[in-house]
């Protein structure tokens, strides 16, 4: 192949310069990583989950290392939407990359309110709904486990967001992700992102205590890659047949360019990188570069040609 591969992708209403995006909750508000590399070299970045009011999160310990990954029970600590807009968004708006705001809410109305507050603001390229949070009005069960509430939340956000694309990020803590993904697509999501963390726990046998103060936490990192690949592949067939305009964003355990290529072959248009940024802060950049090298080695002229290219 002559020349460099074309790394641009069209994703969920956005044009990205490459398919690698920093994942929510692992990249702060973006600026924290700017000493390590220019965020303009990424396809995009997703900021920490933002809620209407500031949240302290859970008590410590709220992180534990596990074999091939980590557990976290941060509890969605964040500074709240108004402080985010005043203190973080002006810097983000000056970066030459797609800034996606991840939203955390506990009712359908709150999701709509948050989407309406952020949509259209300078620097907000898209909104990503974290539907793994408890639906307080429905007894605390996660919205994301049930297609009905996922459809309602998506519709409320889409209506409030106007021209700003809405992406929906799914939980893997369901038996079958397909009906939930379909509910999001039917309600107007431009992209479906998967996967969030898998529910787990760690025990210290010597003290006979749970390691995390919250007892349960979300498992992320290389250990979950096979689950993420399976879910992207599972969702892709039905979405492609019924909602071909809705893109998939794959994540879970990506730590190399080849990992990213695997997610794209399974059906993702782009990928997000989370836990890998904790082992090395320039992981996203390294993965984007390695993905380019992979394309060059495999004579793939356009990285977008990888999407759905799995031979079965």
Ligand X SMILES: Cc1cc2nc3c(=O)[nH]c(=O)nc-3n(C[C@H](O)[C@H](O)[C@H](O)COP(=O)(O)O)c2cc1C
Residues that bind ligand X (CB under 6 A): 23-26, 48-49, 72, 74, 76, 102, 130, 169, 196-197, 220-221, 224, 251-254, 273-276
Which residue lies nearer to ligand X by CB, 147 or 221?
221
Structure token pair of residue 257: 């360019």
Q: Select which of 133, 193, 284, 295 is catalytic.
A: 133
Q: Which is nearer to ligand X, 9 or 168 (CB)?
A: 168
88 or 169: CB nearest ligand X = 169
Closest separation in Å from C-beta 165 to ligand X? 16
To ligand X, the closest distance from the beta carbon of 232 in angstroms equals 12
Q: Which residue is nearest to ligand X (CB)?
A: 25
Cβ nearer to ligand X, comparing 5 with 274: 274
Q: How far is the CB of 3 from ligand X (least distance, A)?
A: 31
Q: How far is the CB of 34 from ligand X (least distance, A)?
A: 19
DSSP element (H, E) containing 147: helix 147-161
Known catalytic membership, residue 133: yes
User: Active-site positions?
Assistant: 133
């Amino acid at each position: 192949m002559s020349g460099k591969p074309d790394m641009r992708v069209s994703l969920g209403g956005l044009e990205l310069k490459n398919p690698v995006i920093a994942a929510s909750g692992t990249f702060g508000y973006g600026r924290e990583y700017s000493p390590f590399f220019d965020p303009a070299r990424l396809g995009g970045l997703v900021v920490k989950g933002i809620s209407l009011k500031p949240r302290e999160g859970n008590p410590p310990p709220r992180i534990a290392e596990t074999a091939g990954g980590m557990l976290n029970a941060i509890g969605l600590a964040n500074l709240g939407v108004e402080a985010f807009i005043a203190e973080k968004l002006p810097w983000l708006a000056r970066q030459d990359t797609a800034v996606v705001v991840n939203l955390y809410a506990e009712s359908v109305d709150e999701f709509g309110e948050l989407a309406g507050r952020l949509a259209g603001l300078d620097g907000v390229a898209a909104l990503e709904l974290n539907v793994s949070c408890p639906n307080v009005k429905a007894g605390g069960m996660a919205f994301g486990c049930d297609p009905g509430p996922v459809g309602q939340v998506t519709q409320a956000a889409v209506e409030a967001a106007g021209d700003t694309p809405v992406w929906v990020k799914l939980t893997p803590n369901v038996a079958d992700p397909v009906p939930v993904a379909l509910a999001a697509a039917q309600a107007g999501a431009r992209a479906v992102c998967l996967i969030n963390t898998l529910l787990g726990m760690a025990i210290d046998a010597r003290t006979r205590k749970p390691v995390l103060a919250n007892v349960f936490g979300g498992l992320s990192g290389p250990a979950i890659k096979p689950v993420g690949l399976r879910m992207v592949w599972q969702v892709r067939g039905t979405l492609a047949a019924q909602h071909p305009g809705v893109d998939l964003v794959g994540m879970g355990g990506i730590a190399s360019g080849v990992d990213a290529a695997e997610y794209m072959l399974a059906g993702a248009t782009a990928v997000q990188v989370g836990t890998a940024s904790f082992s090395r802060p320039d992981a996203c950049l390294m993965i984007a570069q390695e993905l380019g090298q992979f394309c060059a080695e495999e004579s793939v002229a356009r990285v977008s040609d990888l999407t759905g290219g799995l031979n079965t």
